[in-house]
Structure 1
């Protein structure tokens, strides 16, 4: 049970790292452009399929029109043969009259056959027409979606560029943060402060040495005066007392 839990956590961690790497590698503009290309390709495929469907519908409609024309033609032939038979019968030529009536019957049979074929094709044509209309509407919807996608693409690309610029500015500002002791500028400032402190220390040390020299010089003056007075005592009369 513990092994399964560990393996599950490792698997989740791997997936998270992979997804994070993919997210970092994704270029919004390239990804959206690819989406536009994929959708455009889907529209092209749909157009091809719809064009084929429309072509089949037009063949059905053409066959239907031919069947209707054929039925009408055989109908006209049946009428002509029937009238001819009537004329022959009226003139007393029964044999030829029967012959033309038989031709009229054949024409009527052909008319009925063509009409049946047209009737059978009619529902299919109606169904296919509805399908084509729906496909055309769907295709138009896809094209409108593509235009919306292109417009959204331009918006998102612009927003991505603005966000990228903002991030760069933020990173640049962060890199020169005067208050951050860990920044490069902070380290430079600390180094300069140490150099300034060293210079101040040297100045104070030099000043201290100079003061000591003056003190020694003053002490030397006092010693010199004492020596001079001692020499005067040795060489001259005794000094008189100072009146009070």
Structure 2
């Protein structure tokens, strides 16, 4: 039996949790006010019905009292005519209507108390509905503000998560790598261009020197550079 109670308690707890998560404050408050207004409609109908019953009882009581008075007058007339037997019957009828009127007056007292109580309850419910509408608007505004704040916090939380930051870090490394590759390509292109210009400049210097040598030969000037003697020639001279 204890195990079944525990299982039942767990099931109820899970159901209550699901219901709590599914509750939307705005919808619940709107529905609650609608339910209260529906109760007010039923309350007004009950008050109207009680008042109608009270008025009907009042008419019946008045009618019974009126009939009782009529039979009393008839009893007086019978006595005046010297008919005691007829007067007795009239008084018997009067007594019956008089008892009915008294019973109806007792009902009227009860019905009057019921109507008064119903009217008080109706006024109390109307006051509560007015208060509930004011609170409903306030709570709905607070719920919407809280929901918006929660959404913003959720977005900020997602932005601040490790996965998001790691994605930015990876992209930063990728951009740095692309920039480094671009700089390397630019440097290589500049080196090749400088080498080409250096080659052209070096070629011009050789050509200029060759032209100068040719000019010296043509002018007959012996400005030739003597080469150093070879090793064999050096040995012969020494001998």
Q: TM-score w.r.t. structure 2 length?
A: 0.65
Deviations 1:170-215 (A, max 9, x none): 344445x4x655327x624531343224422553586489679989
Match of residue 182 from structure 1: 163
Which residue of 219, 224, 229 corresponds with 1:236? 224
Q: Measure the CA separation in 2 of the matches of 1:14 and 1:118.
A: 58
Do the aligned partners of residues 237 and 75 (structure 1) sit closer, same or farther apart at CA in structure 2, a change above 3 Å counting? closer
Deviation sequence 1:9-56 (CA, Å, 0-9, x none)? 9x738943x544434433322222222222222222333333333333
The two structures, once aligned, show a CA RMSD in angstroms of: 4.1
Structure 1 residue aligned with 2:102, among 86, 103, 119?
119
SS where residue 236 of structure 1 aligns? coil
| Cα distance in 2 for residues equivalent to 1:66 and 1:192 | 100
Q: How does 1:1-244 map to 2 (within 5 A)?
A: 8=7, 12=10, 15-16=13-14, 18-82=15-79, 84-85=80-81, 97=82, 99=83, 101-175=84-158, 177=159, 181-183=162-164, 187-188=167-168, 190-200=170-180, 203=183, 207=187, 236-238=224-226
Q: Give how far 1:68 is off.
A: 1.1
Check 1:55–1:209 CA distance in 2 against 1; reply closer, same or farther (3 A cut): closer
Q: Specify the structure having the higher radius of gyration (Cα).
A: 2
TM-score (norm 1): 0.64
Distance 1:63 1:190, change over 3 A: same
Task: Give the total of aligned pairs.
Answer: 208
Counterpart CA distance in 2 for 1:20 and 1:208 is 68
Mapped to 2, the partners of 1:28 and 1:124 lie a distance apart of: 47
Secondary structure at the counterpart of residue 182 of structure 1: helix
State the alpha-carbon separation in 2 of the partners of residues 14 and 110 from structure 1.
Answer: 67
Where 2:67 maps in the other structure, the secondary structure is helix
Report deviation, 1:115.
1.6
Change (3 A) 1:210 1:114: closer
